[in-house]
Structure 1
Amino acid sequence: MIELDFEKTGGLLPAICQDAETGEVLMLAFMNKESWEKTLETGMATYWSRSRQELWTKGLTSGNVQKVKEIRVDCDDDTILLKVEQIGGAACHTGHRSCFHKLVEGDKLTVVGEPVFDPKEVYKK
C-alpha cells in the first residue's frame, strides 16, 4: 500500500482534480486515509467532506462522477493530483464544469461560463 503523509496535515490532504484530457483544473477537495484507499480500490474519486464529516464519492447524487485515470503525488507525499474523466459534464456543485469559474477583475469577481445543470433540480434543495 502506498503511504502518504496524512499526519503532517492533521489527517487531510489537499486533492487537486484535473481533467485528464484537457488539463483543466476542475476542483480542489480533501482526502483522508479512508477516502484515499477507497479511491485506489474503486477507481472513482472519493473525498472527505469537511462540512458533512463523511466520505463523499463525487457524483453519487448529481451523476457527475469522476473516473480516475491517473494519480500523482507531490514531492513531500502530502498533496494529491487526480487526473479524471469528468462524467456528466460538471465538477462543481453550482452546476459549472469547474469550481474555478470566478474571474478576478480588479476588485470584483465575474462568473465565467454557464452552468451545465441547475443545482436546485439536481440536489432538490
Structure 2
Amino acid sequence: DLLREDYVERDLSRGVYFTQDWASMGGVMAVASGGIHVWHMPALVDIFGDDSVLQFGGGTLGHPWGNAPGATANRVALEACIQARNEGRDLMREGGDIIREAAKWSPELAAACELWKEIKFEFETMDKL
C-alpha cells in the first residue's frame, strides 16, 4: 500500500522513516525480479503482498520438467502463501513449512523445491579491507 497511497505516515515498524504527501502523483506497482524461485515466495508475499509483479525468469524456465510446470510450481507456491497469510500464519517464520506442505499435493512444486533446495544468498558485507 505504500506505493499506492496519496499520503503515508511515518511508521518505523514498517521501515517508513518520514511522512510523505504524494499529492496526486499516480501510484506504482512493486516488482520483484532477479534470481527468485519458489523458496523465496513466503518472503515476497510478506514484503509485497499480493498486489505486485513477481518476475520469475530462471525460477520458471529452469524447472526440470519445462516452462509450464515451472509456472505451475510458482503459482501453487504463491497461492499457498496467500492462503496461509489470509489464515493468519506468519510467512517469515513458517514459510518453509508452508511451501513443503503445498509440495505434497503438487508434483511440479515438489520438483522445483528439490531443484532450488532452499538456496540462500547470505554474504558478508563488502566494505571490509
TM class, shorter-length: under 0.3
Normalised by the length of structure 1, the TM-score is 0.26
Instruction: Identify, as 1 or 2, the structure richer in helix.
Output: 2
Instruction: Identify, as 1 or 2, the structure richer in strand.
Output: 1
- Asked which structure has the greater CA Rg, the reply is 2
